[in-house]
C-alpha cells in the first residue's frame, strides 16, 4: 500500500479539533509522571472505556508498569500546563497534584477520569492503552481547544445538537 506523505498527513490530522488532556500516573518509584495528550477518545459506554495512543518514552513506561492513568481535561487557561507536559517547561508553571484513589489528579480541570488499563496494543510507533474508567467528574468551565497545531479558547458557539 502507498502511504500518505507524512507532512500532508500531519496537516490534515491537525484539522480535527480536539481538547487537550494531561495524562498523569505514578512510576515504579511513586514519582508523578505527566504528559500532554490529545489522542484521548471514548471507546464504549458499558463498561465506560477510553483509550490513549502513546509513543515510547517516560510516560509509556510508567503506564505499562502501573497499568493505571488519570485523564485531566485542561481548562482554557491550561496552555502553560499543556506546554509544560509536552516537553516545554516554563519557570512560571509549577504543577500541583492531589492524590485520588492513589492516582495524581491536576486540580482545576474541566473533566477527570481515573482509568485502569485492560489492554495495550502496539500499533507501529505508538501503543494504544485501553482502559476502564473507575471514576470521573466534570465542571462547566470552558476547555482548552487544539486545532491546526495551535491553542484556541473555549468550545466555540453552539449552533445545534
Ligand X SMILES: Cc1cc2nc3c(=O)[nH]c(=O)nc-3n(C[C@H](O)[C@H](O)[C@H](O)COP(=O)(O)OP(=O)(O)OC[C@H]3O[C@@H](n4cnc5c(N)ncnc54)[C@H](O)[C@@H]3O)c2cc1C
To which residue does cell 488519570 refer? 70
- CA gap 79, 81 in Å, rounded: 5
User: Going by C-beta distance under 8 Å and a sequence separation of 6 or more, which residues neighbour residue 133?
Assistant: 47, 48, 49, 50, 113, 114, 115
Question: Is 127 a residue that touches ligand X (CB under 6 A)?
Answer: no
C-beta of residue 127 within 8 angstroms of C-beta of residue 54 = yes
| Interface with ligand X (CB under 6 A), residue from 33, 73, 106, 111 | 33
Query: Judged by CB under 6 A, which stretch of 3-11, 36-44, 69-77, 110-118 contacts ligand X?
Result: 36-44
Question: Is 107 a residue that touches ligand X (CB under 6 A)?
Answer: no
- CA gap 49, 71 in Å, rounded: 12
Question: Is 92 a residue that touches ligand X (CB under 6 A)?
Answer: no
Question: Is 55 a residue that touches ligand X (CB under 6 A)?
Answer: yes
Question: Is 112 a residue that touches ligand X (CB under 6 A)?
Answer: no
Question: Is 6 a residue that touches ligand X (CB under 6 A)?
Answer: no
Instruction: State the minimum distance, in angstroms, from the CB of residue 66 to ligand X.
Output: 13
Query: From residue 102, how far is each of 37, 64, 98 by CA, in Å?
Result: 21, 17, 9
Task: List residues binding ligand X (CB under 6 A).
Answer: 20, 32-39, 53-55, 57-59, 82, 85-87, 89, 95, 146
Amino acid at each position: 500500500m502507498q502511504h500518505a506523505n507524512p507532512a500532508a498527513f500531519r496537516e490534515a490530522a491537525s484539522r480535527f479539533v480536539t481538547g487537550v488532556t494531561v495524562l498523569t500516573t505514578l512510576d515504579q518509584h511513586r514519582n508523578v509522571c505527566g504528559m500532554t495528550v490529545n489522542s484521548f477518545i471514548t471507546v464504549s459506554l458499558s463498561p465506560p472505556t477510553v483509550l490513549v495512543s502513546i509513543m515510547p518514552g517516560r510516560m509509556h513506561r510508567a503506564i505499562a508498569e502501573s497499568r493505571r492513568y488519570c485523564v485531566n481535561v485542561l481548562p482554557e487557561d491550561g496552555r502553560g500546563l499543556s506546554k509544560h507536559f509536552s516537553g516545554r517547561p516554563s519557570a512560571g508553571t509549577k504543577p500541583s497534584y492531589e492524590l485520588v484513589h492513589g492516582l495524581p489528579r491536576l486540580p482545576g480541570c474541566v473533566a477527570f477520569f481515573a482509568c485502569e488499563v485492560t489492554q495495550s496494543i502496539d500499533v507501529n510507533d505508538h501503543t494504544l492503552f485501553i482502559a476502564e474508567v473507575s471514576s470521573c467528574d466534570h465542571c462547566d468551565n470552558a476547555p482548552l481547544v487544539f486545532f491546526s497545531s495551535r491553542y484556541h479558547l473555549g468550545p466555540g458557539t453552539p449552533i445545534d445538537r
